[in-house]
Structure 1
Amino acid sequence: MNQQFVTIATFNEVTEAHIIKGRLEAEGILCFLGDEHIIGAQPFYSVAVGGVKLKVTEADAEEAKAILGHIQGGTSEFVLTDELELSPMQEHLPNKTCPVCESDNVAEEKYNKTVFSLSYLLLGFPLPFFSRKYKCYNCGHFWKEKRN
């Protein structure tokens, strides 16, 4: 059986179209973008070709339009989890505990964030000055481990 695709929305920006496409795909809706490469290469052609076209199957069109309406109306709901996401500069340490609250929700900060950020702003690339600080995510306590 052939599936017919219908255009449910058009966008002037490729990035905006990709964000909406990702959300629809997360909801299990098959979709693709038309004319994204033309507009990505020549953004001023957006008006001439009619923008980036978000296309879905006819069977999913109504559901996709409803989701798109929620997103554009600002009423889109997202499921949040309680899992801790650490930045690439941090690593969870299950065998360490906080000296203040005895929590094991502790991470080692491998790089000095201030030097890392300033060198990136001034030089254009970050210099990895190592820090060896620990942070407790329950009470917010920072400490350095004593070496023997």
Structure 2
Amino acid sequence: MAERLVTIATFNEATEAHIVKGRLESEGILCFLGDEHIIGAQPFYSAAVGGVKLRVTEQDVEEAQAILTRIRQGDNLFDYDTIEMAPPMQEHVEVQTCPHCGSDNISEEKYNKTVFSISYLFLGFPLPFLSRKYTCYNCGKTWKAKK
């Protein structure tokens, strides 16, 4: 048998409704928004259609209303200690240095500027040919990357 949805709150703006919906979903309550697209397209129709409606299943009404009351009172009783955070991803970045002077004050040129400019001039759009050149700002030397 299908669950009935009950409207527990209405909002004038869809963004406010989405914030509260996210909070309820984080507490484990299944909820839906009604008329959000109408008000998103025509915000002045909010009063005519009755606002964005936040709906939950019949069995979750009491718990959802208790959470809404806590939100409106400003109480934040969400248990952040139960959330498992993923460890930050470590990216392996190889630092290039100038082979002539050893400086790390360099820039990478990914595309060949000559081919880029000529193709834009004659074809009307640039062709991005990869170049992989490096230029040192300290000594002014230019070299190609070793693969």
Measured against the shorter chain, the TM-score band is 0.5 to 0.7
Q: Does 1:76 align with 2:76?
A: yes
Aligned residue for 1:19, secondary structure, equals helix
Question: Match of 2:9, SS?
Answer: strand
In structure 2, stretches of 5+ residues that fail to align are 93-147
For the residues of structure 1 that align with 2:15 and 2:29, how far apart are their CA atoms? Answer: 19
Using the size of structure 2 for normalisation, the TM-score is: 0.55
Instruction: State the AA in 1 paired with 2:71.
Output: I
Q: Name the counterpart of 2:5.
A: 5
Other-structure match for 2:67: 67
Corresponding residue of 1:23:
23
Specify the alignment match of 1:109 in structure 2: none
| CA offset digits 1:10-39 (Å, max 9, x no partner) | 000100000100111111111100000000
Aligned equivalents of 2:27 and 2:85: distance in 1?
21
Q: Which residue of 2 aligns with 1:32?
A: 32
Q: 1:84 to 1:6 in 2, by over 3 A?
A: closer
Q: Give a deviation string over 1:45-98, Cα, whole Å, max 9, x none.
A: 001100000000111000000001001110022333596987xxxx7579xxxx
In structure 1, distance between residues paired with 2:6 and 2:15: 20
Partners of 2:87 and 2:78 in 1: how far apart? 16
TM-score by length of 1: 0.54
Q: Which has the larger radius of gyration?
A: 2
For 1:31 and 1:12, locate their aligned partners in 2 and report how far apart those are by CA, in whole Å: 18
Q: After the TM superposition, list the runs of 4 or more consecutive aligned residues in structure 1 that deviate by more than 4 angstroms.
A: 81-86, 91-94
8 Å CA contact 1:29–1:60 kept in 2: the answer is yes
CA contact (8 A) 1:29 1:64 kept: yes
User: How many residue pairs align between the two structures?
Assistant: 90
* CA shift in 2, pair 1:25/1:80, >3 Å: closer
Query: Is the 1:67–1:76 Cα contact (8 Å) retained in structure 2?
Result: no
Contact 1:31 1:57 in 2 (8 A): yes
Report the aligned-residue RMSD.
2.3
Change (3 A) 1:85 1:19: farther
How far apart, CA to CA, are the structure 1 residues paired with 2:87 and 2:63? 31
- Give SS of 1:61's match: helix
1:99-135 alpha-carbon deviations (Å, 9 max, x no partner): xxxxxxxxxxxxxxxxxxxxxxxxxxxxxxxxxxxxx
Partners of 1:84 and 1:30 in 2: how far apart? 24
8 Å CA contact 1:21, 1:54 repeated in 2: yes
